[in-house]
Amino acid sequence: MPRSVELVILDCDGVLVDSEPIAARVMAEALSEIGYPVTAADCIDRYTGISMAAVTAMIEDDWGRPLPEGFVDEVRRRDFDAFAAELKPIAGIESVLDGLKIAKCVASSGAPEKIRLTLTVTGLIWHFEPHLFSARDVAHGKPAGDLFLYAAREMGAKPESCVVIEDSGAGVQAGRAAGMCVLGFTGGGHAGPRMTAPLEEAGADAVFDHMEDLVSLIGRPIRL
């Protein structure tokens, strides 16, 4: 952990809002309908933490054909409907954000409109606005470090003084590529203990499963 933490950079899906199980279900249903059968578990394992552009490229490469015209727009429409009806914040995140007396921002692979929707639906947006950063802001999304470096520049913080909170291997790799301390979170509905080893292997400095532990982790005087 940096001796002096200037900025906490939080991923959105799976860290602030428990959206990954919903998004995985929607994606699995949409792909299966067009003849590319996958399960929600498949989608979580393959696509968590990366941008929609990267997801569609992976699917098209594996399938050997382009996705139907309008597929991405349809998935986003279904996502938005499902989020509006079902989405909840990660347990404990509201009290943690209230008690976190350090600059903070969001840096997510999601589209800006998705970030804004999910944080609005769950009542968390006031903690961050206008400091919402998306993969669309940079040339290379996670696992490249570009998005986190961009967020740090915009927030006026040095990379070595930033702590990233991530729930995916791609996100952890991105934080490490940016030269930042990274804490892996396994408390989302899609994660659990099975994600501890992958996050550690990706380079997480520590892994935790209860959001209430975040403040003490950030305050703990351990490495950089």
Q: Which domains does the chain have, with CATH numbers?
A: 7-18+87-219 (3.40.50.1000), 20-86 (1.10.150.240)
Q: Structure pTM?
A: 0.86
Distance CA 26, CA 195 (A): 22
Tens digits of per-residue pLDDT, 35-67?
999 999 999 889 987 889 999 999 999 999 999
pLDDT at 14: 92
Tell me how crowded residue 163 is: count the other CB atoms within 10 A of its CB: 23
- Cβ atoms of 32 and 59 within 8 Å: the answer is no
The amino acid that residue 160 corresponds to is E
The per-residue pLDDT for range 99-156, each reduced to its tens digit, is 888 999 999 998 899 999 999 999 999 999 999 999 999 999 999 999 999 999 999 9
Q: Tokens 């998306």, residue?
A: 134
Q: pLDDT (tens digit, 9 = 90+) per residue, 65-100?
A: 999 999 999 999 999 999 999 999 999 999 999 988
> What is the per-residue pLDDT across 139-198, written as a single tens digit (0 to 9) for each?
999 999 999 999 999 999 999 999 999 999 999 999 999 999 999 999 988 887 888 999
Counted residue by residue, the chain has a size of 224
